[in-house]
Amino acid sequence: MADPMKIRARLEGDVADVRVLMAHPMETGQRKDSAGNVVPLHFIQTITAQLNGKPVFQAEVSQAISRNPVFGFKVKGAKAGDKLTITWIDNKGDKRTDEVTLTAG
Amino acid sequence: MRFAPGLCALAALALLAPVPQALGQAKPGAPKAPPAVADKDAVTAEFEKFRAVLEDANPAELFEARGEELWKTRRGPNNASLERCDLGLGPGVVKGAYVQLPRYFADVDKVMDAERRIVHCMTTLQGFKLEELAKRPFSTDTATPEPVSLVTFVAGQSRGMKIAVPQKHPKERETYEIGREIFFYRAGAYDFSCASCHGEDGKRIRTQQLPNYTKPDQAIRAYQGWPGYRMTGGLMHTLQWRLWDCFRQQRFPEPGYVSDTGTALLTYLGVNANGHVYKGPGIKR
């Protein structure tokens, strides 16, 4: 099971400034281990964000993203009490979903 | 990237190394450039800015969360959690413990630093074997050792607190003296000591400013930012690793994992840094 994400959201008016930290090895498929074998490709492929169950965006990302990536974005039209859900799915089909409730301030 | 109609997401994207603009406001007054010489140093100032941006979303938090889970979970041959581990403030007290370590522990009649004490708890409470833990003590691209996550969790519980490494017990004072000895001890193929790099102001390796650990206002930089998430390789490291790597760079024999040597040096550095505010687990280039 994947480690939980760390989601931090700060509301400024009706804009939520969101920062998501994801724990993932993000293997490029180009590295070799100490025995000389290629480390297989393993990376987050899709990231989706939902506000109260309604999709805000979906991102297709590549193996060019760093290990344990940080993902930042702003959502307009958010208010305190809204539920923000982030999901990632990697190329092996592993997934992780985490949710936060927006608070004022 | 696809935007759903209706709701409007302003901007996404700020991955690997987020650019300052995308992050909006950095924490006010977060990084302080080291005094005197360094103030004039434009490169260092740029590095500090870069660091401040990174600190805003530090992957070290992921290891803090993992460490917390490890702390609370019953594990090991004894199927015990670490919640009875005494870090110096009583069994199970984690809050504020990190900034008061290394300290003297009567149960072992020794001074221990944070990682050493945690490993001690893992062996005594949970029944792990020190020899096993010492086999792979540092993070690699495939694994982060459990003590590393645990130290990160414990350190995070002292965020924003003042460093107060005690010097009451005679053994604590003795350990400080030993630490100072080691710090100034010149030896090895390069006839090097810790003080060769960290004993005067304004030294550097390439663009890295080297703090002078004999001065309190700079000694804090030995504690600040550790445990740290290293951008190079994306690995979490503790002070135990930092010391080991310094010894390696000096071409010294590397100290044993959680050894007296490490504790002594950390006591020396910690006491020198006393009174300064510890900002919690950090991020390194």
Yes or no, beta carbons of A23 and B62 under 8 Å apart: yes
Pairing of strands B281-284, B225-230: parallel
> How many separate domains does chain B show?
1
Asked if residue B105 lies in contact with residue B112, where contact means CB atoms within 8 angstroms, the answer is yes
Number of residues assigned to chain A: 105
Residue contacts between A and B (CB atoms, under 8 Å): 100
Would you say residue A1 lies in a domain? no
Chain B interface, Cβ < 8 Å to A: 1-4, 6-18, 22-24, 56-59, 61-62, 65-66, 141-142, 229, 233-234
Question: Which residues of chain A neighbour B22 with C-beta distances below 8 Å?
Answer: 72
Would you say residue A66 lies in a domain? yes
- Give the chain B residue whose CA is nearest to the CA of A3: B66
- Map tokens 């009451």 to a residue: B168
Supply the CATH number for residue B160's domain.
Answer: 1.10.760.10
Tell me which amino acid residue B32 is: K
To the nearest whole angstrom, how far is the Cα of A15 from the nearest Cα of chain B? 9
Supply the CATH number for residue A84's domain.
Answer: 2.60.40.10
Chain CA centroid to CA B53, Å? 19
Nearest Cα to B156, choosing from B146, B148, B167?
B148
Asked if residue B138 lies in contact with residue B109, where contact means CB atoms within 8 angstroms, the answer is no
Would you say residue A12 lies in a domain? yes
The DSSP string of chain B is -EEPSSS-EEE----SS--HHHH-PPPTT-----SGGGGG-HHHHHHHHHHHHHHTT-THHHHHHHHHHHHHS-BTTTTB-STT-BSSSSBT--TTTGGG-SEEETTTTEEE-HHHHHHHHHHHTS---HHHHHHS-S--SS---HHHHHHHHHHHTTTTEEP-----SHHHHHHHHHHHHHHH--BTTTTB-HHHHHSSTTEEETTEEE--TTSHHHHHHHHTEEEEEETTTTEEE-HHHHHHHHHHHTTPPPPPTT-HHHHHHHHHHHHHTTTSEE--EEEE-
Give, in order, the Cα–Cα distances in Å from A11 to each of A98, B20, B27, B203, B263.
Answer: 18, 19, 16, 43, 44
Positions of B marked active-site: 246
Element (H, E) at A18: strand A15-21
When pLDDT is cut at 50, 70 and 90, the band that residue A103 belongs to is: confident
Residue A81 belongs to domain spanning: 6-101
In 10 A of CB B122, how many CB atoms?
23
Residue-wise pLDDT tens digits, A37-79: 999 999 999 999 999 999 998 999 998 998 899 999 999 988 8
Q: Which of B3, B10, B15 to mutate to test the interface with A (most CBs of A within 10 A)?
A: B15
> How many separate domains does chain A show?
1
Pairing of strands B203-205, B208-210: antiparallel
CA–CA separation, B115 vs B260, rounded Å?
Answer: 12
Would you say residue A20 lies in a domain? yes
- Map tokens 């060769």 to a residue: B196
Chain CA centroid to CA B117, Å? 14
pLDDT at B40: 55
Element (H, E) at A85: strand A83-90
B210: which strand partners?
B203
pLDDT at B30: 47
Residues of chain B with pLDDT under 70: 1-40
CA–CA separation, B207 vs B217, rounded Å?
Answer: 20
- Map tokens 């509301």 to a residue: A11
DSSP A37: P
Residue B106 belongs to domain spanning: 37-284
When pLDDT is cut at 50, 70 and 90, the band that residue A105 belongs to is: low
Would you say residue B83 lies in a domain? yes
CA–CA separation, B70 vs B55, rounded Å?
Answer: 24
pLDDT at B32: 52
Question: Which residues of chain B neighbour A77 with C-beta distances below 8 Å?
Answer: 7-8
pLDDT at B13: 37
Can you tell me the ipTM of this complex?
Answer: 0.80
CA–CA separation, A73 vs B1, rounded Å?
Answer: 13
